[in-house]
């Protein structure tokens, strides 16, 4: 578990602040954020010890210059360590962040060649990756580099006694080196985190060790395997490359899939909260109107108004249920499409006429269609459903009023439908998400606008089910245009 990964992802909000520290223009104390300054008592000694170990390693290599085959072997392990460092693995259940398999190659260098070579491989592999990732704050890069050099040096010194012995010595050297690297890494990392969070050092260390002990054992076994194979012949050790790459790819795939599931789970929870609210509102109105009608002698206009509430709210409930069922059919790929040549203008006019009855003051809704538009290959009911969804959204998200325009035009063998509003708009980074199931930009309904977050998902799925495509262009505060194209019949 390298600290790079840990300070990248494992520390929650504090970590991300640690990560995104702005680069100070000059290296003055005041230019550093308070949190960074808190970590200096750990970072400075680690960086100092790392620098000292690196200088000592270079000196030792100059004094006792290694032969050509050693240089070649170290270069191979350095390339492997740098690649592994550049692509760390997120391991499920390890809350200390992504794991870098670079440790395998650094410790292998320590167990095969000695501490100076290991310190150099540690230094170069992390320094190259840190330099390539320029966004990282220098203090983090300095700490990570210092930590790697220290851990590699300690691993080399710890394994020294068994290095170059018989088979069991080699196994012990690999294991002891791994354990030493791991302990230094965990201890220094816990020290910096504990200081950052004002926690007890031993409690932090205990937490990290508990969650990383299993991956450590896997890494230690891989190191021992590599060292033993290398002892037979460095070329034989290439056989571990295949399994390593497979493990790496599989882990990444698994992690991405789990992330998607977690996000979906979160959205589902949000959906349950939203749908409960959406169901309760019309039910309360219907219940209230029914009670009044039951208890009192209500006549004339009041009676008509109460009955209108009952029918409007019941229709709203039915629409809500339709949406949920439609989404579930689309999800299960059981939605049926009855594609036929369809007059888009006629369908659009019907959607606009229906929407006009619900138009609030200050809103204007127009239909603009090119003359002699060709018919589209579409399911008329689905096309209407899409246009109704888009128009309802345009109305809902135009709280200040303004003009809504539905327009139809033709281009190369497609007809384009657009619904443009002058409402609240959608920021660029949110535009891709709004088409996802249950996704609402305002899940807590702070704006008081209800919805299930299913309308756009259903609309896009329906458009794609009719061999079309859908997209949005929008600017926050200026309005949005939702467009889709369907093939000409």
Give the separation between CA 450 and CA 392, rounded to whole angstroms.
11
Cβ distance to ligand ADP smaller for residue 309 or 458: 458
Which residue stretch of 16-24, 118-126, 362-370, 436-444 sits at the interface with ligand ADP (rule: CB under 6 A)?
436-444
Window 361-420: residues binding ligand ADP (CB under 6 A)? 393-394, 397
Of positions 456, 462, 463, 466, contacts ligand ADP by CB under 6 A: 456
Give the separation between CA 439 and CA 424, rounded to whole angstroms.
17
Window 108-167: residues binding ligand ADP (CB under 6 A)? none
- Number of residues that make up the chain: 489
For residue 452, state whether it binds ligand ADP (rule: CB under 6 A): yes
Using Cβ positions, the residue closest to ligand ADP within the complex turns out to be 451
Task: Please state, as a whole number, how many other Cβ atoms lie within 10 Å of the Cβ of residue 337.
Answer: 13
Of positions 423, 463, 468, 485, contacts ligand ADP by CB under 6 A: 423
Q: Taking the complex as a whole, how short is the minimal distance between the CB of residue 461 and ligand ADP, in angstroms?
A: 11
> Which sign, positive or negative, has the C-alpha torsion 374, 378, 381, 384?
negative
* Among candidate residues 284, 286, 337, the one with its CA nearest the CA of residue 462: 337
Q: Taking the complex as a whole, how short is the minimal distance between the CB of residue 385 and ligand ADP, in angstroms?
A: 12
Cβ distance to ligand ADP smaller for residue 316 or 440: 440
Give the separation between CA 339 and CA 345, rounded to whole angstroms.
16
For residue 270, state whether it binds ligand ADP (rule: CB under 6 A): no
Check if the beta carbon of residue 129 is closer than 8 Å to that of residue 86. Answer: yes
Which residue stretch of 85-93, 110-118, 347-355, 423-431 sits at the interface with ligand ADP (rule: CB under 6 A)?
423-431
For residue 407, report the phi and psi dihedrals to the nearest 5 degrees.
-130, 150
Q: Taking the complex as a whole, how short is the minimal distance between the CB of residue 397 and ligand ADP, in angstroms?
A: 3
For residue 424, state whether it binds ligand ADP (rule: CB under 6 A): yes
Task: Please state, as a whole number, how many other Cβ atoms lie within 10 Å of the Cβ of residue 33.
Answer: 15
For residue 282, state whether it binds ligand ADP (rule: CB under 6 A): no
Which residue stretch of 231-239, 302-310, 349-357, 455-463 sits at the interface with ligand ADP (rule: CB under 6 A)?
455-463
Sheet with 414-420, strands from edge to edge, namely 363-369, 402-411, 414-420, 479-487, 469-475
Of positions 188, 286, 454, 462, contacts ligand ADP by CB under 6 A: 454
Check if the beta carbon of residue 175 is closer than 8 Å to that of residue 224. Answer: yes
For residue 234, report the phi and psi dihedrals to the nearest 5 degrees.
-55, -30
For residue 455, state whether it binds ligand ADP (rule: CB under 6 A): yes
Give the separation between CA 91 and CA 246, rounded to whole angstroms.
14
Cβ distance to ligand ADP smaller for residue 125 or 480: 480
Cβ distance to ligand ADP smaller for residue 140 or 420: 420
Collapsing DSSP states into helix, strand and coil, what is residue 420? strand
Of positions 327, 369, 434, 462, contacts ligand ADP by CB under 6 A: 434
Q: Taking the complex as a whole, how short is the minimal distance between the CB of residue 266 and ligand ADP, in angstroms?
A: 15
Q: Taking the complex as a whole, how short is the minimal distance between the CB of residue 273 and ligand ADP, in angstroms?
A: 13
* Beta-ladder partners of 363: 402
Task: Please state, as a whole number, how many other Cβ atoms lie within 10 Å of the Cβ of residue 138.
Answer: 12
Give the separation between CA 229 and CA 73, rounded to whole angstroms.
13
Which residue stretch of 58-66, 80-88, 216-224, 440-448 sits at the interface with ligand ADP (rule: CB under 6 A)?
440-448
Cβ distance to ligand ADP smaller for residue 204 or 483: 483
Show Cβ contacts of residue 424 under 8 Å, excluding neighbours closer than 6 positions.
397, 398, 399, 447, 476, 477
- Residue numbers at the binding site for ligand ADP (CB under 6 A): 393-394, 397, 421, 423-426, 434, 439-442, 451-457, 480
């Amino acid at each position: 578990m390298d600290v790079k990964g840990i300070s990248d992802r494992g520390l929650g909000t504090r970590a991300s602040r640690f990560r995104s520290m702005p680069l100070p223009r000059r290296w003055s104390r005041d230019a550093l954020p308070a949190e960074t300054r808190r970590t200096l008592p750990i970072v400075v000694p680690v960086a100092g010890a790392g620098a000292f170990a690196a200088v000592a390693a270079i000196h030792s290599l100059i004094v006792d210059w290694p032969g050509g085959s050693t240089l070649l072997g170290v270069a191979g392990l350095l390339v492997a360590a740098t690649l592994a460092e550049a692509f760390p693995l997120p391991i499920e259940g390890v809350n200390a962040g992504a794991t870098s398999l670079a440790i395998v190659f650094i410790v292998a260098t320590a167990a095969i060649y000695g501490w100076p070579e290991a310190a150099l491989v540690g230094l170069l592999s992390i320094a190259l990756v840190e330099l390539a990732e320029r966004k990282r704050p220098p203090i983090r890069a300095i700490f990570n580099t210092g930590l790697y050099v220290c851990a590699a040096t300690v691993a080399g010194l710890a394994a020294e006694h068994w290095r170059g012995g018989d088979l069991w010595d080699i196994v012990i050297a690999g294991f002891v080196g791994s354990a030493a690297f791991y302990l230094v890494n965990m201890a220094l990392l816990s020290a910096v985190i504990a200081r950052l969070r004002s926690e007890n050092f031993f409690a932090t260390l205990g937490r990290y060790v508990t969650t990383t002990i299993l991956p450590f054992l896997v890494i230690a076994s891989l190191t021992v395997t590599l060292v033993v194979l290398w002892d037979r012949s460095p070329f034989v050790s290439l056989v571990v490359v295949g399994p390593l790459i497979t493990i790496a790819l599989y882990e990444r795939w698994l992690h991405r899939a789990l992330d998607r599931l977690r996000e979906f789970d979160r959205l589902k929870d949000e959906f349950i909260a939203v749908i409960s609210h959406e169901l309760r509102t019309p039910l309360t109105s219907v219940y209230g109107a029914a009670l009044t009608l039951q208890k009192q002698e209500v006549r004339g206009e009041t009676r008509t108004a109460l009955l209108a509430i009952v029918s409007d709210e019941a229709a709203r409930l039915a629409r809500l249920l339709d949406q949920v069922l439609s989404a579930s059919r689309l999800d299960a790929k059981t939605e049926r499409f009855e594609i036929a040549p369809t007059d888009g203008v006629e369908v659009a006019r019907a959607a606009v006429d229906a929407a006009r009855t619900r138009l609030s003051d200050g809103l204007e809704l127009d239909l603009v269609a090119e003359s002699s538009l060709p018919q589209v290959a579409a399911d008329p009911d689905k096309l209407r459903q899409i246009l109704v969804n888009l128009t309802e959204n345009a109305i809902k998200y135009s709280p200040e009023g303004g003009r809504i325009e539905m327009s139809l035009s033709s281009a190369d063998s497609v007809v384009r439908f657009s619904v443009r509003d002058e409402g609240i708009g959608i920021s660029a980074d949110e535009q891709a998400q709004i088409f996802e199931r249950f996704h609402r930009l305002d899940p807590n309904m702070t704006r008081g606008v209800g919805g299930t977050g299913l309308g756009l998902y259903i609309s896009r799925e329906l458009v794609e089910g009719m061999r079309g495509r859908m997209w949005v262009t929008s600017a926050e505060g200026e309005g949005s245009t939702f467009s889709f194209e369907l093939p000409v019949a």
